[in-house]
Amino acid sequence: MSRTYILRRVLIAIPSLLGISLVLYTVLALAPGDPFGELVTNPNVPPEVRIALREKFGLDDPVWIRYVRWLSAMLQGDWGFSFVSRMDVDDLILQRLPTTVAVIGAAQLLAITVAIPIGVLAATRPYSVFDQIANTLAFVGFSLPTFFTGLLLILIFSVQLDWLPFVYRSDVQATGWKWWWEQFRQSIMPVTVLGLFQGAALVRYVRSSVLDVIKLDYVTTARSKGIGEPKVITKHVVRNALIPVVTLVALQLPVVFGGAIVTEQIFRIPGIGSLLISAILANDTPVIMGVTFVFSCLVVAFNLIADIIYGWLDPRIAFR
């Protein structure tokens, strides 16, 4: 794994990010609607105001001029200015990023802690009752979309049982343990929804990967040397089986961000996903560009990370 390799990968990422931004901008420009639609139906707002606003935000210029302007500002670190909130886009995104990262991080953690033991156990006893149940649940888990399981959980735990709140608050009024407890209570449903959705798919990967490894000769060798089964599994099987899984987790993270958009909307989590949705509904181009740009950076970055980790874990396939 050389430094030049990483450098080259980073350099390749630049044109792809540029391409993504160009396509996004064109699609947004082609899409109908404008950010001041709400003013149109309000008879109290004189049409001059609307025209002045369009001019002020440069909406009447040709698309390519707007794109070049956006791009050159972006290159100088200026993310633009939200039409709707009249504040800087990077502030808006930074305000919301921590929540998204926390929720997604927790969900991913939950997915891994659930998926690995279940996947390994299922693979060590293939076609046993446990394996059958785990498989069925995994299929159900990744077949049910998050917007469905989310509503289902709300219906059960908030409406019927009245145990958990279904509106996520970013300003929990408490300190110390109480704060953590409130955070925990309000995060548990969104994290479960996202985590189990991810975990279900992961179970399948872990199981098949462990099944592949467990049949290999060196495992048989280890067993015949008289090493105890637990040690064989943890030290010899899982370690090797997890190599492709780690890559998959890294590659899937951007997908998780996508799934988070829906979950954030359902539970009113103030993350960048719900920001994206409201920006799209309001035709707030700079914010849409900003958020999608963050997402594309994540995709590119995690692809890179996956490649690097894979090479590091398995030197045989590392790029030399």
| Binding-site ranges for other proteins (CB under 8 A) | 32-34, 36-54, 56, 81-82, 84-87, 92, 95-96, 154, 158-159, 162, 165-167, 169-171, 173, 265-266, 268, 270, 274-275, 278, 281-283
Length, in residues, of the chain: 320
* Pairwise CA distance, residues 113 & 108, whole Å: 9
> CB under 8 Å to 291, separation ≥6 — which residues?
93, 272, 275, 276, 279
Q: How far is the CB of 127 from other proteins (least distance, A)?
A: 43
C-beta of 95 vs 183, nearer to other proteins: 95
Contact 183, 175 (CB under 8 A): no
Q: How far is the CB of 37 from other proteins (least distance, A)?
A: 4
C-beta of 185 vs 239, nearer to other proteins: 185
Q: How far is the CB of 163 from other proteins (least distance, A)?
A: 11
Q: How far is the CB of 156 from other proteins (least distance, A)?
A: 13
Alpha-carbon distances of 138 from 62, 118, 256, rounded to whole Å: 50, 10, 17
* Pairwise CA distance, residues 282 & 277, whole Å: 9
Of 22, 267, 78, 262, which Cα lies nearest the Cα of 169?
267
User: Amino acid letter at 79?
Assistant: W
C-beta of 14 vs 151, nearer to other proteins: 151
C-beta of 86 vs 316, nearer to other proteins: 86
C-beta of 12 vs 151, nearer to other proteins: 151
CA–centroid distance for 212 within its chain: 29
C-beta of 32 vs 77, nearer to other proteins: 32
Q: How far is the CB of 168 from other proteins (least distance, A)?
A: 9
Of 134, 119, 159, 98, which Cα lies nearest the Cα of 150?
159
Q: How many CB atoms lie within 10 A of CB 99?
A: 20
C-beta of 54 vs 223, nearer to other proteins: 54
Q: How far is the CB of 72 from other proteins (least distance, A)?
A: 20
User: Amino acid letter at 158?
Assistant: S
* Pairwise CA distance, residues 115 & 195, whole Å: 10
Q: How far is the CB of 44 from other proteins (least distance, A)?
A: 5
* Pairwise CA distance, residues 203 & 201, whole Å: 5
What residue has token string 């105890």? 228
CA–centroid distance for 76 within its chain: 27
